[in-house]
Amino acid sequence: MNIFLKTLARDLKMAFRNPSSFLNPLMFFVISISLFPIAISPDAETLSNLAPGIIWVITMLSVLLSLNSLFHYDYDNGILEQAVTSHQSLSLILFAKTTAHWILTGLPIILLSPLLGMALFLEPNSIYILMLTLCLATPCLSLIGSIGASLVVSIKNSGMLLSLLILPLYIPILIFATSAVSQSQFGLPINGQLYFLGSILIVSLMTAPFVSAIALKISME
């Protein structure tokens, strides 16, 4: 646990020294959603119906934008190579780095979502469900994304390849998260969608750090 906290603190400190690494995806998130009322229609009903899909698609793209730099800095500086050859738990180190990624990307998106939901005329109950789905699913996006980032860490300009690897794994999350928010707008039950997102979160927490460690060792051989 000590190595987890040290790695987490180090990654957060490094991120704040270079804030563009996490501010750019957040700016993309805010600006992209803000443009939809201009591009589609200012009509409240139209935007309200489209809001779950808009917010969730932009959330996925924002996370994808930030994943490419998840391990590249440490790879270029030889830190990952030291982690692979050290006696410390590699999966715990990668889990700490993924946690830092979620704190810098997923958590701000959750905090910004009520304002952007109101801008798209979502009802208060739907905004609450939106935040709940983001709380359940954004950690999954970071955990699943860490697997792809581990696989392509040794490849330069791997953004497109990373998107092709990870995007299909994000589709079930997108479907069930948007479905939960959409159905909440009409007062329909959403327990099934929330249980599914919770199950993905549990499975991701239990498996992603270990799979990422294996993928990293393979990519660095």
Q: What is the pLDDT of residues 27-83, one digit of tens each?
A: 999 999 999 999 888 888 999 999 999 999 999 999 998 888 888 888 877 788 888
Gap between the Cα atoms of 159 and 162, Å rounded: 5
Radius of gyration of the chain (CA): 18
For 5-37, give the DSSP string: HHHHHHHHHHHHHSTHHHHHHHHHHHHHHHHHH
- Sign of the torsion formed by the C-alpha atoms of 40, 46, 48 and 50: negative
Dihedral (Cα; 155, 159, 160, 162), 10-degree rounding: 80
The low-confidence residues of the chain, meaning pLDDT below 70, are: 1
Residue 139: per-residue pLDDT = 96
C-alpha torsion angle, residues 132, 133, 137, 138 (rounded to 10): -70
Beta carbons of 56 and 117 less than 8 angstroms apart: no
**How many structural domains is the chain composed of?**
1
Domain around 110: 2-219
Task: Give the ranges where the chain is alpha helix by DSSP (H).
Answer: 2-17, 20-39, 44-67, 72-76, 79-85, 90-101, 107-119, 124-151, 159-185, 191-219
Predicted pLDDT at 1: 65
Calpha distance 157→124 (Å, rounded): 41
